[in-house]
Amino acid sequence: ARGAAPEADLAGRHVVVSAGGTREPLDPVRFLGNRSSGKQGYALARTAVARGARVTLVAANTALADPAGADVVRVGTALQLREAVLKAAADADAVVMAAAVADFRPAAYADGKIKKKDGEEPAPVALVRNPDILAEVSAERSREGQVVVGFAAETDDVLANGRAKLHRKGCDLLVVNEVGEAKTFGSEENEAVVLASDGSEVQVPHGPKEALAEVIWDQVVPRLAPRRA
């Protein structure tokens, strides 16, 4: 654990962290959402501030207090999150996609509240794919030497799925955790493996999300591009 004066190994760096879960609206009062609380992303933002970084936190539908010292950009949908992340990534040294981004959104948005009608079955909800923001950021690398970190929540074959996902997304690091009803979501704690594209694998024992955040930054720092003059 770190003491009161953490090493400022992110001083002079701009890092972007996405957190929370996107909501994809069906009508003015309903959405498709997920169970992400945003706590892991907020822990990443707090620890990065403590390590001296300039932090942009792109927060999707979180109910958490703004971390002191971070620039917070609030978003709702996956498309809004994409826009905010790509904009902030333009001059970022590292981008960490901790947000749970909806893979699909409703194909149509009803301007008025959807009403039920007596004797009628509900219409199926048609969905379309959302863009893969992590894959896009990884492919783009808007700043040379930018380090890109993804997360993966898996319920089965955690490591094999994680490795495959790391290569598919093209990111440098993938933080894989096993999820289930009682695991991870909304919890203060987490347990994970940090997989790297260079083959390294760091096991992080069950513990506070802050501790996992520190391990992630420990893995990011040596991979950052040399500081520019």
Distances (CA, A) of 11 to 2, 40, 50, 52, 55: 16, 21, 9, 4, 11
The number of beta carbons lying within 10 Å of the beta carbon of residue 120 is: 7
Q: Write the binding mask 155 to 194 for ligand CTP: x where contact by CB under 6 A, - elsewhere.
A: ----------x-----------------------------
Q: Phi and psi dihedrals of 87, rounded to 5?
A: -65, -50
Q: Among 145, 143, 16, which Cα is nearest to 91's?
A: 143
57 belongs to the binding site for ligand CTP (CB under 6 A)? no
91 is in an annotated binding site: no
132 is in an annotated binding site: yes
Q: Among 130, 80, 132, which Cα is nearest to 105's?
A: 130
131 is in an annotated binding site: yes
Q: Whose Cβ is closer to Ca ion: residue 51's or residue 165's?
A: 165
Q: Are 82 and 40 in contact (CB under 8 A)?
A: no
CA atoms of 159 and 176, how far apart (whole Å): 8
Q: Whose Cβ is closer to ligand CTP: residue 52's or residue 197's?
A: 197
115 is in an annotated binding site: no
CB of 216 to ligand CTP, least distance (A): 12
Residue list for the binding site: 103, 113, 131-134, 151, 165, 169
**Residues in touch with ligand CTP (CB under 6 A):** 78, 97, 99, 101, 103, 130, 132-134, 150-153, 165
Return the active site residues.
Answer: 34
Question: Contact positions toward Ca ion, by CB under 5 A?
Answer: 103
Binding residues for CTP, as ranges, are 103, 113, 131-134, 151, 165, 169
